[in-house]
Chain A
Amino acid sequence: MSIRVRRNAFLLTVPAVVYMLLIVAYPFVLLVAYSLTNRRVGAPSEFIGLGNFAEVLSSSMIWSVFGNTIRYATMSCVVSLLIGLVAALLLSRLKGTGNTLQSIIVLPWAIPASVTALVWLWMFYDLGGVINWLFERLQLIDKPVSWLGLSSRARLAVLVPNIWKLSPFFAICLLSSLREVDNAALRAATLDGAGPIRRFFHISLPAMRRTIVVSFALAFLWSATEFPLIYILTRGGPADATHLLGTYSYELAMRGGFEIGLGAAYALFLVPIALGMALLVWKVGQWHRG
């Protein structure tokens, strides 16, 4: 490989690298620095070492918000993946799916998350909300239910908008991956007497493996760092039951007590999750490159 090629490869990436260092790496270093101080708004800050982390780990909140984050991301992604898979399999049987239909399907994923949050907030609303009306019609409940007012119910309710948002993402990714499944192999398997279920598990699913891992990791990353879908629906409530790491950190640092140091410490617990998922996406993206 010539020096010219190496030099070009390096120079072409310089603008992006410099910019990312300035607006990602530098703020991240600041975040770590904040987490080591008792910084608050309107007070001088002092270096307190790992004091914030000691406080975080000794409070019961960390287990609750960390658990919520993992559970929220896992449950949203698993359910959305299954819905997306079913949708993709069904859509792939439709001959000549129109572009417009596919654009409508991805719409829940593409619209602003705060719009999603607001429309679901209104749908979940106890007074006049369409979900209560529908469930009463179907005789699943006999009087209006407060979906977001009770901890256990709110934890499930906040999953729904995220599933609504992510299922189309999975559906579109898996659909385009299904389109590339080897038709000859499918036909050969049919001739050999393999039914649709065996064809799916032995041919289609292995072919979609990479797409599934990449889309799952991305969706997990988005869900673990989700903000508006929680913040607008419940503000982390009732009684902090639906807070995720990110929303709680924001609440501490940017709204409530302006506890910037402590908020930064909470935010840092997201880093292993986020980097783990990013690494997974990269790794799997590399598979094909050898």
Chain B
Amino acid sequence: MAQRMRRPAYAAVLALLLAFAVIPFWWMGVTSVKPDKELYSIENPLFPANPTFEHYIYLFESTDLLIWLRNSLIVSAVAALLAVSLALPAGYAISRYRTTHTKLFGLSLMLGYGFMPILLVLPMFALAVKTGLYNSLSVLCLVYPSFLIPVAAWLMAGYFAEVPVSVEHAAQLDGCGVVRTILYSAIPCARNGLVATFVFCFLLSWGEYVYALGLTSSSRMRTLPVGLATLESGDVYAWGSIMGAALLSTVPVLLLLIIARRRLAHGLSIGVIKRDGSNRQT
């Protein structure tokens, strides 16, 4: 009886929390289809009275939105690929060998992760200028792995830990060295995990702001997160188009999350929380 009475209260709290999560997205969507003169109306701001696509037309025709979108796709994909390929053998080593070296390596990776972009952006800026890479997409592709490699290595370690070692023993009996064992046995077995790691790195790069702001200067080299923030500068806040661009930049995130969610949530919990030593060669 008591149980039954509590249920509406549970549902109400949950609904409130969901509203907190969803309202900003609703607000983005509503704002992006309101004509300018309706933006500041307080009649019923949660619904557009005269929906219009003028902001989207403006975004595609008069701003660099498509260039930013392309830049973001290139940078995120290349950086994620670079990070995953560097982190893959490292993650394998963490999951399979328990030596002083891998232990120290795990520690230094985590400490390295502590050096967030805001700490390193000053020297990175100087280095980028010095090497002539300032204001290019390549500098972003090269620099993003600094915060991706630790994450990717730990995620990969978690996924590899789930691959039974017996499979690899079979490969080793067939005469495979460690490189071929990884290539022909570990990678195929952990391919879902690999994809999830790539997606996660892609998402982290997709949202990166500090390096993208500090290491590029011209609009044509901006990524989406930085580019859409420049739409607000000037005297008039172009809220309609800013919110339209904001909404467009969340669409790929939602799609990737729906595709990779199950493996990702799983990987996050095994990657950070519970990698046990049962699956190691010692």
Contact = CB atoms under 8 A, between A and B. Distances in A.
Interface of A: 1, 5-6, 8-10, 12-13, 15-17, 19-20, 23-25, 27-28, 30-31, 34, 83, 86-87, 90-91, 93-94, 99-100, 102-108, 110-123, 125, 127-128, 130, 133, 136, 164, 167-168, 172-173, 176-177, 210-211, 214, 218, 221-222, 225, 227-228, 232, 246-247, 249-250, 253-254, 260, 263-264, 267, 270-271, 274-275, 277-279, 281-282, 285, 288-290
Given A107-B25, A123-B24, A228-B209, A13 B93 contact: yes
Interface in B1-60: 10, 13-14, 17-18, 20-25, 27-28, 31, 39-42, 45-46
Complex A-B, nearest 7 residue pairs according to Cβ-Cβ distance, in ascending order: A278-B114, A112-B207, A128-B40, A246-B118, A30-B123, A9-B97, A274-B114
Given A106-B257, A167-B17, A176-B268, 17 more contacts: A5-B282, A8-B97, A13-B89, A17-B105, A19-B86, A112-B253, A117-B229, A122-B31, A222-B116, A225-B116, A227-B118, A227-B209, A249-B118, A253-B122, A282-B110, A288-B276, A290-B277
B145 to A, nearest CB: 6
B208 to A, nearest CB: 8
B210 interface: yes
A118 B46 contact: no
A260 B96 CA distance: 44
Interface string B238-256: 0100110010011001100
Contact of B116 (A86, A94, A136, A221): A221
Main secondary structure of the interface of A (DSSP, over half): helix
Contacts of B105: 13, 16-17
B249 A16 contact: no
Given A254-B122, A267-B118, A278 B111 contact: yes
Contacts of B165: none
Contact of A103 (B96, B115, B146, B257): B257
A250 B105 CA distance: 30
B119 A164 contact: no
A279 B225 CA distance: 30
Q: How large is the interface on B (under 10, 10 to 19, 20 to 34, 35 or more residues)?
A: 35 or more
B127 interface: yes
Contacts of A232: 229, 232
B124 interface: yes
Contacts of B39: 128
A12 B243 contact: no
A28 B229 CA distance: 28
A25 B149 CA distance: 14
B143 interface: yes
Nearest to B126: A30
B92 A12 contact: yes
Given A106-B257, A115-B249, A211-B273, A23 B25 contact: no
Nearest to A275: B114
Contacts of B116: 221-222, 225, 246, 270, 274
A250 B229 CA distance: 17
Nearest to A16: B90
B17 to A, nearest CB: 5
B269 interface: yes
Contact of B123 (A34, A99, A123): A34
A45 to B, nearest CB: 11
Contact of B258 (A94, A100, A111, A288): A100
Given A214-B272, A279-B110, A24 B115 contact: yes
Nearest to A30: B123
B111 A275 contact: yes
15 contacts: A9-B97, A12-B92, A15-B90, A16-B109, A17-B108, A34-B122, A106-B257, A106-B261, A110-B203, A115-B250, A120-B24, A122-B237, A228-B225, A285-B110, A285-B272
